Amino acid sequence: MKYEPVIGLEVHVQLATQSKLFCACASEFGAEPNKNTCPVCLGLPGSLPVLNEAALRLAVKAGLALNCEIAERLKFDRKNYFYPDLPKAYQISQYDMPVNNKGELVIEVPDGKGGAAEKKVGITRAHLEEDAGKLLHEGIQDGSLVDYNRAGVPLLEIVSEPDLRSPEEAYEYLISLKAILQYLEVSDCDMEKGSLRCDANVSLRPEGESKLGTKTEIKNLNSFRAVQKALQYEINRQKDLLENKERIIQETRLWNEAKGQTFTMRSKEEAHDYRYFPEPDLVPFTIQKDTVEAIRKTLPELPVARERRLKQDFQLSAYDAHVIVSDKKLADYFEACLREKVNPKLVSNWILNELLALLNQNKTTIDRSPVEPHHMAGLIRLIENNTISGKIAKEVLPLMFETGQSADTIVQEKGMSQVTDAGEIEAIADKVIAANEKSVSDFKAGKKAALGFLVGQIMKESKGKANPKIVNEILTKKLQ
Amino acid sequence: MSEFLYQLTLKEAIDVARRDGNHNIIAALKDRIQLFNPKINAFLRTDQSRLLEPVGETMSDLAGVPVAVKDNICVRGWETACASNILKGYIPPYDATVIQKLSDAGAAIMGQCNMDEFAFGSSSETSAYGPVRNPWDLERVPGGSSGGSAAAVAADMALAALGSDTGGSIRQPAAMCGVVGLKPTYGRVSRYGLIAFGSSFDQIGPITKTVEDAALLLRVMAGHDPKDSTSANEAVPDYMQPLKRDIRGLKIGLPKEYFVEGMDPEVEKSVRDAAGVFKKLGAEIKEVSLPHTEYAVAVYYIVAVAEASSNLGRFDGVEYGLRSPAKDLREMYQETRDAGFGEEAKRRILLGTFVLSSGYYDAYYLKGQKVRSLVRKDFDDVFRSVDLIMCPTSPTPAFKIGEKIEDPLAMYLSDIYTIPANLAGVPAISIPCGFTKANLPVGLQLMARPFGEETIFQAAYAFEQEVEVYKKKPHL
């Protein structure tokens, strides 16, 4: 039997506010333990929460970008459970009246004909809640320590409908969601800092069946690739069970990256009863329509629109445009290069193929690139006006990366500019023709490949500086 | 004016302090506490440094006179334990907003008063530090949960004290100790720094010797607090002004549902007599109906304990307070909470946890909230035709220590007349209105519309000046 996977994702992002959700403590990452705390976020007896309106505005902004209905009436609830990282023994969250309801996110999926199609993924809800602290176990004998710096940091939990049908779609959803949130500057979505976290729900059902199968929830997913891998593992595991006529147990499972497997964490029976009830310390309130409209006006161009514009204005391929816009900083870099009026296709190739590789090797990111956009454009311009060949450019770029100098400076200092003087190239061509009689006769006998060899020899002779186009022209003429 | 400084009212003490400084007043009270606190157990701690500081300017509103506080209101640097073992040794790093306001107005904070553990009780017997005794009869309870505050004021060990009221915890002990106790409108006084019991009910209020003192303190304590989202953004009137007004034409309602079986006949007589006094002063008395009264206690013990069960989750041995030794986390929670909480606290945590549990929420908590809005509507309706509601504060005078502690239901019913005001969020005062033959004080309760504290002070003051019951003191 063929099975169809049904996947839904729960994504938590930390909102990029200066202060925490219910107090004025800084929400910065990486401070000395328990530095950013006060009676409120420590849950000291008698303290009370006061909502940070900046967090609410970011939540509404995200909701609008995800085409959600923004709730008019807002309320918070308490989710009660005991854990040392939760100072009040309840988390202030939103249970039945989330700020954002019923939205959608458009992702690109393969259309089955080698192209791409758009797919709408439903967003069930996106609600505000506070983060918990962090337990520290490492290097501590006899117990654990708690760092409450993170306690009370605002989170937006974005819950998708079970609309995803493959691990690849789940991956694409995450990429698109992250891009939108980064464009909005709602969150930095940095998984390494924990500012984006994802849990995945997955079940299988026979193809054509509309009823949902029993699902499992996967936690401890530390990268988008881990989400994809864990889902694939879980789909295979569930498929094996179903094929062996075994029952799938509704449970929460943990992904073990090193083993590449999921393991039972707790069953449905062991699940917490969170005893949700309305938070009496925060009175329900109304969000004014004007406020929502004012926030709507601050929405920037979003990835889908930007992708459309890049394809239209710069004739980028769908693939290139998609990759570029999926990272706001990458797209910003790309557009900064284009302000220098250079060939968009060349820019996109050089960024995607060469610059990203250098950035990866050096473990840095596009916004910290030592090659500034106008220097990148300068390199492209040297290629465009034949000052250097692509091959030389590949030597120039790492030097630019290393020194932060412009392409012009490097090419000049190292004497790397291209030979475009036909006379000079003709002289080298004659020399090469004389030295490679066999190849010349092969070519004349119809072996086209021999031309390539001769071009290569000329390039070598010129130390790579001869303009390949002119070399080709001259050689073809001479061999006729 | 009284012959001893400890007998002064707050108002009188301010005048004395303006003239002579606050030191003699403080010394007189300290002597008084030393003499009588061992018998009454109203104070848990009195040897606090802030008392010794020359607090405030003598020209400030409160001129450095001392005010006592209930042990559930955080005072920076002082142990604040809610009379519980689980918070023993806990020292808050911040002042409750009311403490800050009182300090800013020039009050000295003097000592912390005993109470029912976490304000769970109506007799002040559930304290981990032993029961408080009623100054009028040491074999009897002072009421609760602010029993320490009320007993301290009644015994002239404090000029005035702060209490907190979730279901009657200011008014019922005020009635049983023969002093004045005001529960303000929900949202009138900031709850920031009040260790929460039932967050949607709790209010801090004054317990004083006179109505005037209550008005004076409320004027200092009331007002919007940006740290408490439930505090009202409502202007604070000068509560001393209404004291000058007569009450001719004021309409006062007697709810018929309150005068039913279970009410002590002597209590009933005192209250009926009080109605006569109001009539004589020109008020109009009429019978009114609060039809959902019979559900009030039940609803209260669902909603308030639900909130309490969540509010008390934080006492888990992790950050502060008691931590019992244990081999793992689960055991630490269990042992700590088992050793730290008393019987009544455990009963309410269990009840509250139960009513919020999945599968029971709709039947209890949700239904409770619906009934609560019906109770609130009862008051809205009645306040269309009257300015005040008048009734006994407590169905009985002070009962014997031990009499009800084994019978939670009987204990819960002693708040039958005070709980509705908390459900509805309306302001209510208890003032002394007479004595039983056994010389036990009887309290009269007056309730008003939300933010109608002025009307309460106006009527309460007129009554008090007419009958002068407050002048009678217990023989210690």
Structure confidence by residue, pLDDT tens digits, A205-217:
999 999 999 999 9
| Whole-number Å distance between alpha carbons of B253 and A151 | 50
| Whole-number Å distance between alpha carbons of B377 and B257 | 15
Cβ(A129)–Cβ(A142) below 8 Å: no
Q: How many residues does chain A have?
A: 480
Tell me which chain B residues have a C-beta less than 8 angstroms from the C-beta of A276. Answer: 356, 361
pLDDT of amino acid A275: 96
Residue A350, both tokens: 């050089």
Is B310 a residue of the active site?
no
Residue A32, both tokens: 């000395």
Residue B307, both tokens: 């909130």
| Whole-number Å distance between alpha carbons of B183 and B164 | 8
Tell me which chain A residues have a C-beta less than 8 angstroms from the C-beta of B314. Answer: 43, 45, 87-89
* Phi (first) and psi of residue B372, to 5 degrees: -60, -40
Q: Which of B194, B470, B151 is nearest to B311 (CA)?
A: B194
Contacts of A284 (CB under 8 A, 6+ apart): A73, A74, A75, A97, A278
| Whole-number Å distance between alpha carbons of A302 and B274 | 72
Place of tokens 């300068």: A378
Strand partners, A102: none
Q: What pairing do the DSSP bridges indicate for beta strands A100-110 and A90-93? A: unpaired
Is residue A270 pLDDT above 80, yes or no? Answer: no
Tell me which chain A residues have a C-beta less than 8 angstroms from the C-beta of B309. Answer: 80, 275
- Distance (Å) from the C-alpha of residue B436 to the closest C-alpha of chain A? 39
| Whole-number Å distance between alpha carbons of B421 and B425 | 6
Cβ(A48)–Cβ(A152) below 8 Å: no
Cβ(B190)–Cβ(B97) below 8 Å: yes
pLDDT of amino acid B51: 63
Strand partners, B446: B390, B429
Is residue A119 pLDDT above 90, yes or no? Answer: yes
| Whole-number Å distance between alpha carbons of A344 and A338 | 7
pLDDT of amino acid A155: 98
Residue type, A261: Q
Place of tokens 């959902």: B292
- Distance (Å) from the C-alpha of residue A86 to the closest C-alpha of chain B? 9
Residue type, B155: A
Is B169 a residue of the active site?
yes
- Distance (Å) from the C-alpha of residue A39 to the closest C-alpha of chain B? 8
| A305 interfaces chain B, CB cutoff of 8 Å | no
pLDDT of amino acid B4: 92
CB contact (8 A) between residue A82 and residue B193 = no
Cβ(B428)–Cβ(B379) below 8 Å: no
CB contact (8 A) between residue A80 and residue B310 = yes
| A78 interfaces chain B, CB cutoff of 8 Å | yes
Cβ(B368)–Cβ(B303) below 8 Å: yes
Nearest CA in chain A to B352: A275
- Distance (Å) from the C-alpha of residue B351 to the closest C-alpha of chain A? 13
* Interfacial A residues in 270-289 facing B (CB < 8 Å): 273, 275-277, 280-283
Nearest CA in chain B to A282: B229
Contacts of B333 (CB under 8 A, 6+ apart): A82, B316, B317
**Interface list for chain B against chain A, based on CB atoms closer than 8 Å:** 72-74, 80, 82, 87, 90, 92-94, 96, 191-196, 198-200, 226-230, 306-307, 309-310, 313-316, 318-320, 329, 333, 353, 356-358, 361, 365
- Distance (Å) from the C-alpha of residue B28 to the closest C-alpha of chain A? 32
Q: Which of B103, B124, B145, B270 is catalytic?
A: B145
| Whole-number Å distance between alpha carbons of B250 and B279 | 10
* Phi (first) and psi of residue A257, to 5 degrees: -60, -45
pLDDT of amino acid B469: 87
Q: How far is CA B269 from CA B251, B290, B397, B434, in A?
A: 21, 21, 12, 9
Tell me which chain A residues have a C-beta less than 8 angstroms from the C-beta of B307. Answer: 277, 280
Which of B192, B313, B353 is facing A46, going by the closest CB pair?
B192
Q: How far is CA B57 from CA A268, B54, B162, in A?
A: 63, 8, 22
pLDDT of amino acid A44: 98
Q: What pairing do the DSSP bridges indicate for beta strands A196-206 and A216-221? A: antiparallel
CB contact (8 A) between residue B92 and residue A49 = no
Asked if the peptide bond before residue A317 counts as cis, ω within 30 degrees of 0, the response is no
Percent above pLDDT 70 for chain A: 99
Residue B164, both tokens: 């907190």
Other CB atoms closer than 10 Å to residue A327's CB: what's the count?
Answer: 21
Is B357 a residue of the active site?
no
Q: How far is CA B247 from CA B214, B244, B283, B386, in A?
A: 19, 10, 6, 13
Cβ-based burial of B249 (10 A; exposed 0-12, middle 13-18, buried ≥19) = exposed
Which of B72, B199, B333 is facing A280, going by the closest CB pair?
B199
Which of A45, A51, A275 is facing B314, going by the closest CB pair?
A45
- Distance (Å) from the C-alpha of residue A57 to the closest C-alpha of chain B? 18
- For all residues of chain A together, what is the average pLDDT? 91
Strand partners, A204: A5
Tell me which chain B residues have a C-beta less than 8 angstroms from the C-beta of A50. Answer: 226-229
DSSP state, residue A232: H
Residue type, A332: D
Cβ(B201)–Cβ(B185) below 8 Å: no
Render each residue's pLDDT in chain B as its tens digit; 476 residues: 567 999 999 999 999 998 888 889 999 999 999 999 999 999 999 876 666 555 555 668 898 999 999 999 999 999 999 999 999 999 999 999 999 999 999 999 999 999 999 999 999 999 999 999 999 999 999 999 999 999 999 999 999 999 999 999 999 999 999 999 999 999 999 999 999 999 999 999 999 999 999 999 999 999 999 999 999 999 999 999 999 999 999 999 999 999 877 789 999 999 999 999 999 999 999 999 999 999 999 999 999 999 999 999 999 999 999 999 999 999 999 999 999 999 999 999 999 999 999 889 999 999 999 999 999 999 999 999 999 999 999 999 999 999 998 888 888 888 999 999 999 999 999 999 999 999 999 999 999 999 999 999 999 999 999 998 888 999 98
| Whole-number Å distance between alpha carbons of A94 and B436 | 52
Q: Given pLDDT bands bounded at 50, 70 and 90, which one contains residue A464?
A: confident
| Whole-number Å distance between alpha carbons of B168 and B148 | 14
Q: How far is CA A402 from CA A105, A225, A368, A408, in A?
A: 40, 30, 13, 15
Which of B195, B226, B306 is facing A45, going by the closest CB pair?
B195
Triad A78, A82, A85: Cα angle to 5°: 95
Residue type, B366: L
Cβ-based burial of A297 (10 A; exposed 0-12, middle 13-18, buried ≥19) = exposed
Residue A445, both tokens: 């006998």
Residue A307, both tokens: 């992708």
3-state secondary structure of A252: strand
Contacts of B373 (CB under 8 A, 6+ apart): none
CB contact (8 A) between residue B318 and residue A282 = no
Residue B446, both tokens: 């007056």
* Phi (first) and psi of residue B199, to 5 degrees: -55, -30
Q: Given pLDDT bands bounded at 50, 70 and 90, which one contains residue A125?
A: very high
Q: Which helix (H) or strand (E) holds B476?
A: none
Triad A109, A111, A116: Cα angle to 5°: 55
Which of B228, B313, B318 is facing A48, going by the closest CB pair?
B228
CB contact (8 A) between residue A45 and residue B227 = no
Cβ(B111)–Cβ(B51) below 8 Å: yes
Tell me which chain A residues have a C-beta less than 8 angstroms from the C-beta of B195. Answer: 45-46
Q: Given pLDDT bands bounded at 50, 70 and 90, which one contains residue A137?
A: confident
| Whole-number Å distance between alpha carbons of A33 and B6 | 50
3-state secondary structure of B429: strand
| Whole-number Å distance between alpha carbons of B442 and B49 | 36
| Whole-number Å distance between alpha carbons of A318 and A116 | 8
CB contact (8 A) between residue A49 and residue B192 = no
* Phi (first) and psi of residue A143, to 5 degrees: 120, -170
| Whole-number Å distance between alpha carbons of A198 and B311 | 30
Residue B146, both tokens: 């602010």
Rama region for B156: left / alpha / beta (φ>0; ψ in -120 to 50; rest): left
CB contact (8 A) between residue A87 and residue B333 = no
